[in-house]
Amino acid sequence: MKTIMTGITGASETAVLKDKLASSIGSGSLDVYATPSMVALMEAAACECIANYLEDDETTVGTELNIKHISATPEGMTVRAEAELVKFSGREFTFAVKAYDESGLIGEGEHKRFLVYGKKFTEKAKAKIK
């Protein structure tokens, strides 16, 4: 891994289409942006935040997420997630994450990711299959 410091940021954006609605993915019955969709966007922003610092087979996996989804977003709007690296210790990274629609803040919280080596991690996961 290249030298990294707190304060770096990343972002990810998506259009709220039918496939991202709570009614479509099974996380509710309403036609609003689903919490799991917001979580995925926040994780994507955190990945983007440190992507340029990873080398060779390095990648990260999400290990913890504590967020609040505080405002509903209807189909047709755009949502943007932002992540800031606020702490890192060894191979663990902690991000402050926020999500916004065109009207303002819709979610916020903390997300942790852990540095792993892709090939070794995948082999270990596949070893569970007997």
Q: What is the pLDDT of residue 118?
A: 96
Residue 130 has pLDDT above 90, yes or no: no
Rounded Cα–Cα distance for residues 18 and 3 (Å): 40
Secondary structure (H, E, C), 37-59: HHHHHHHHHHHHHHHHHCCCCEE
What structural domains and CATH numbers belong to the chain? 9-125 (3.10.129.10)
Amino acid, res. 65: L
Q: What is the mean pLDDT of residues 8-16?
A: 98
**pLDDT tens digits, one per residue of 30-62:** 999 999 999 999 999 999 999 999 999 999 999
Amino acid, res. 77: M
Q: What is the pLDDT of residue 53?
A: 97
- What kind and span of H or E run contains 14? strand 9-15
Q: What is the pLDDT of residue 71?
A: 98
**pLDDT tens digits, one per residue of 55-95:** 999 999 999 999 999 999 999 999 999 999 999 999 999 99
pTM over 0.75, yes/no: yes
Q: What is the pLDDT of residue 61?
A: 98
